[in-house]
Structure 1
Amino acid sequence: MQNVLTIAGSDSLAGGGLQADLKTFEELNVFGLSATTSIANIFPDDVSIKVLDPELVKEQLDSVLTQVPIAYAKTGLLGSVAMIELVKQELEENNLPLVVDPVLVFKEGETAEEVDYLAAMKNDLLPLASVTTPNLTEAEQLSGLKIESIGQLPQAAQRIQDLGCPNVIIKGGSRLSGNEAVDYLLTEKQGYWFRNNKIDTAITNGAGCTFSAAITAFLAQEKSVVDAVKMAKEFVRLAIIHGVTIGDSGSVWQGATRQQEDHHAKKSN
């Protein structure tokens, strides 16, 4: 069994963040380890995020990386420039292959801190990654391109790839018009389109974290990038369809694929 590491924030409702990553890792038969960068406390009308001291995160990473061989790592919410710099140093020293889920909780350009954070993400972290998985908003910030149509996805992906990450998958989500949810993957060789009918549900919390975690798990198992994305998309699609209601919203259910496989096994018997 391969070991994989998530460096991400903690979600109090366990829909996203490192909780979603660890659930996904276990469902996909890799052993998940974690380093917590921040605490996100989720309320119906507010999200309170507290970023941890980078020294505390370094201690967590040292604990993991001095004792466990890691096949693949992924990052989620890092939360500060200092955290990005720390993670960059640790990844370089340990030569870890990386998936970056570029969680950008800021709106580009509002404060000097936000501009610096985006710059650190683009200049320091993305060049270390083999795959990055921005949603539309994140892709706009990373590419500097306002994305208003599906046809702009290849251009945005190319701009992000030019930052140094060879494989860019932009998640179209539900914001673009039409009945299809369209994602676009740009590799070093060519582009790939992934199309599915949109799912009529508001229960999508954790979908992005689960997607990047699934890609990480499949890459750790030596799947190709294209196959890893394809398999991760199906995993997340089922997780959304079988989402779990929590309060006024809900979260995707990482156990949906296993649940479906168990159902088919029982029917065949």
Structure 2
Amino acid sequence: MIANILSIAGSDPSGGAGIQADLKTFSARGTYGMAAMTALTAQNTRGVTGVHEVPSAFVSEQITAIFDDVSVSAIKIGMIANANIAVTIADCLRHHVEVPVVLDPVMVAKGGHRLLPEDAVEALKEHLLPLAALLTPNLPEAAALLDEDVATDRDTMIAQAQALRGLGPQAVLLKGGHLDGEDCPDLLVTAEGHQWLEGKRIETENTHGTGCTLSSAIAAEIGKGLSLSDAATEAKTYVADAIAASDALAVGSGHGPTHHFHAFWP
């Protein structure tokens, strides 16, 4: 059967990030996508101009409606908007601990707009990290979660990923795209040790929604039955190819989106 994957995240009307990117990714990876919305944003490739948060009770109602009717193979959590929503999501998912959760701690938009207040960061750490099969922060997000300086080398990445795993998630994929240099390495840390997922940096401005896309691709692959290591490897290749093909799109004048359907469109 085709896997059913649920995204719990915010909306991006320009289609490059958030729930829109998640649903495109789920489809591109051969799974059936569903979404429970936490926030509406007004944004485009140049930045975020407004956020309208969904009442936490209605977030709960959306999630409950899905689980009451549909078998969920995996969950991706993105933008949670505020502390109440973080607690609400955790309360809902504690009834479904058998479903693997990929948690992407969306804290700052590509253009620099902060998407998560301090109390929500604490709620995320206390309530959602222990439920995560995988946490997928970038380097600034990892530093913010740990209240440390942003990692600038691989040794610090290993130390921070291990420290993040100590906060509750079963595994951490620390994304190294903010490192200097031509390489773009990601680090997967599990109970068994660590694994580097190597990659070359692709020179393009079209990187809007790459974090959403990567975490969604991992959730889709886990839902299809892949191991965490294989899912992360497949997802990283998919995102790299989507970025490499992004210049075929003409969307906006800022950080454009990746090409989610590069393998299907001529």
Supply the distance in 1 between the matched residues of 2:224 and 2:252 (Cα, whole angstroms): 36
Normalised by the size of structure 2, how large is the TM-score?
0.91
- Larger Rg belongs to: 1
Asked whether 1:245 is paired with 2:250, we answer yes
**Structure 1 unaligned blocks of 5 or more:** 107-112, 264-269
Q: Is the 8 A contact 1:235 1:257 kept in 2?
A: no
Which of structures 1 and 2 has the larger relative contact order (alpha carbons within 8 angstroms, sep 6+)? 2
What is the letter of the counterpart of residue 138 of structure 1?
Answer: E
* Residues 41-63 of structure 1: CA deviation (Å, up to 9, x unaligned): 11435431111111221221122
Supply the distance in 1 between the matched residues of 2:27 and 2:184 (Cα, whole angstroms): 27
Please show how residues 51-130 of structure 1 align to structure 2 within 5 Å.
51-95=53-97, 96-105=99-108, 114-130=117-133
Normalised by the size of structure 1, how large is the TM-score?
0.90
Supply the distance in 2 between the matched residues of 1:258 and 1:42 (Cα, whole angstroms): 27
Secondary structure (helix, strand or coil) at the match of 2:107 reads: coil
Please show how residues 1-269 of structure 1 align to structure 2 within 5 Å.
1-43=2-44, 44=46, 46-95=48-97, 96-105=99-108, 114-146=117-149, 147-173=151-177, 175-243=178-246, 244-249=249-254, 250-259=256-265
Aligned residues: 254
**Structure 2 unaligned blocks of 5 or more:** 110-115
Identity %: 32
Secondary structure (helix, strand or coil) at the match of 1:196 reads: coil
**Shift of residue 121 of structure 1?**
1.0
Q: Is the 8 A contact 1:143 1:157 kept in 2?
A: no
**Shift of residue 11 of structure 1?**
0.2
Measured on the aligned residues, the alpha-carbon RMSD in Å equals 1.7
* Residues 72-125 of structure 1: CA deviation (Å, up to 9, x unaligned): 11100011100001100110012232110111139xxxxxx9332111111110
1:80/1:6 Cα in 2 relative to 1: closer, same or farther (>3 Å)? same
Supply the distance in 2 between the matched residues of 1:165 and 1:119 (Cα, whole angstroms): 15
Secondary structure (helix, strand or coil) at the match of 2:89 reads: helix
Supply the distance in 1 between the matched residues of 2:48 and 2:121 (Cα, whole angstroms): 23
Secondary structure (helix, strand or coil) at the match of 1:36 reads: strand
Supply the distance in 1 between the matched residues of 2:49 and 2:153 (Cα, whole angstroms): 30
**Shift of residue 142 of structure 1?**
1.5
